[in-house]
Amino acid sequence: MQQSTDPELACPVAPVVDIVFSRWTTPILWALHEYGRQRFVELERRLTSITPKVLTQRLRQLERDGLVTRTYHAEVPPRVEYEITELGASLGPLFAHLATWADASLGEVERARRAYDAGR
């Protein structure tokens, strides 16, 4: 089998990074995993600096990717709830490893940044 010479195509995790690490994806998935099924307004309250437009866009993309389900309840007023799927929840170990790495390494990253910036 021939290896691709394009690094973007050759890297097997690039598509995962594109899906999972887009801005706001991880906070949304974390909130749904941590607090369970939520209405739009509940997510909006938890993620205080996201705009309603961006939250809507991200939820639609996550639903399209199969990481979140959207349930519409035909009531008056209508009620919509979002919930993390089994596929979305399966990212939990990945996020746990990243959290462990962050705890162990972000201090070193910050020191490296300060040293780099001081040398400029």
CA 103 centroid distance within chain = 19
Sign of CA pseudo-dihedral 30, 31, 37, 41:
negative
- Proportion of the chain above pLDDT 90, given as a percent: 71
**73 strand-pairing partners:** 79
pLDDT tens across 39-61, in order?
999 999 999 999 999 999 999 99
Are 80 and 70 in contact, with CB atoms under 8 Å apart?
A: yes
Query: pLDDT value at position 20?
Result: 84
Domains by residue range for the chain, with CATH: 7-89 (1.10.10.10)
Q: What pTM value is reported for the model? A: 0.80
Using only C-alpha atoms, the chain has a radius of gyration, in whole angstroms, of: 18
Per-residue pLDDT band at 120 (split at 50, 70, 90) = confident
Distance (Å, whole) CA 56 – CA 98: 26
> What are the tokens at 101?
């790495």
